[in-house]
């Protein structure tokens, strides 16, 4: 259950970054996930 919560946190952070215009590669790098995970 904690893993699911952690993934949800990353998704919310990624969404906020995308709203600010941060590129996919930069979001992935900042959150230390793959681009596919950042986009999901």
pLDDT value of residue 40:
73
How many whole angstroms separate alpha carbon 23 and alpha carbon 4?
24
For the segment 11-40, what is each residue's pLDDT rounded down to a tens digit? Answer: 999 999 999 999 999 999 999 999 988 877
pLDDT value of residue 31:
95
For residue 25, what are its two tokens?
């590669």
């Amino acid at each position: 259950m904690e893993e699911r919560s952690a993934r949800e946190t990353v998704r919310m952070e990624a969404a906020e970054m995308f709203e600010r215009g941060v590129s996919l590669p930069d979001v992935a790098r900042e959150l230390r996930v793959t681009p596919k995970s950042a986009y999901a």
